[in-house]
């Protein structure tokens, strides 16, 4: 099942990639990720690791904050689960 946040990240990635006039293949090469990884992220079939998100942000010349907007944390009820 595709989770909403994964799908939202995928849609954002598609938009940013298209704005940069890159194919999935070219983005994957710039980010040093596989084309399969980029495709799965765009379809929301895979959650991005922090390293993958950073690589994609660098390849797209955008801030990591744009890749994972803070407001998503409230909307999707993401909270730090560390020790209390």
| Amino acid 76: pLDDT | 55
Q: What is the DSSP letter of 5?
A: H
Q: pLDDT category, 80, cuts 50, 70, 90? A: low
Domain ranges of the chain: 4-64
Using one digit for the tens of pLDDT, what is the confidence trace for 21-52?
999 999 999 999 999 999 999 999 998 888 99
Query: Which CATH number does the domain 4-64 belong to among 3.30.360.10, 1.10.260.40, 1.10.1370.40, 1.10.3720.10?
Result: 1.10.260.40
Q: pTM to 2 decimals?
A: 0.80
| Amino acid 47: pLDDT | 86
Q: Give CA–CA dist 5/61, Å, rounded.
A: 22
With 0-12 CB in 10 A as exposed, 13-18 as middle and 19+ as buried, what is 48?
buried
More confident residue, 8 or 26: 26
């Amino acid at each position: 099942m595709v989770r909403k946040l994964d799908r939202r990240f995928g849609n954002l990635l598609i938009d940013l990639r298209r704005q940069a006039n890159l194919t999935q293949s070219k983005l994957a090469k710039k980010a040093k990720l596989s084309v399969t990884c980029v495709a799965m992220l765009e379809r929301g079939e895979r959650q991005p690791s922090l390293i993958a998100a950073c690589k994609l942000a660098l390849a797209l010349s955008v801030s990591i904050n744009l890749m994972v907007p803070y407001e998503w944390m409230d909307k999707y009820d993401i909270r730090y689960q560390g020790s209390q």
